[in-house]
Amino acid sequence: MAYTLEQYTALQAAIAEGALTVRYQDKSVQYRDLDEMMRILKLMATELGLNSNNDGGRRYASFSKGY
C-alpha cells in the first residue's frame, strides 16, 4: 500500500492524543490498540523513507562533558 506523509502525520497526532481513530481528508481509520498504531507508523516510516526508529523523525544530539 502506498502511504502518504499526510497519513503518517495524522497517525502520529492520534498517537500523541491517545486516540484510536485517525481522521485525514474525508477518511477515518479505527485501530484496535496502540501497538497496532505503532506497527503501522513504523511501516509507513519505512515506506516513506523516514527515520523509522520510532522517534518521529527527530534526532537528538548527545553531548559529552569532555572529561
The answer to whether 54 and 42 have CB atoms below 8 angstroms apart is: yes
Indicate the pTM of the whole model.
Answer: 0.71
Strand partners, 22: 29
Assigned C-alpha cell, 16: 500523541
pLDDT at 55: 53
Output DSSP code: residue 26: T
Per-residue pLDDT reduced to its tens digit, 18-47: 999 998 889 899 999 999 999 999 999 999
Summary mean pLDDT of the chain: 83
> Cα angle at 51 between 31 and 34, to 5 degrees?
20
Q: Read off the pLDDT of each residue in 48-56 and give the average, rounded to a whole number.
A: 68
CB of 17 within 8 A of CB of 10? Answer: no
Beta-carbon count within 10 A of 42 CB? 14
Which sequence spans correspond to the domains of the chain?
5-48
pLDDT band of 65, cuts 50, 70, 90: low
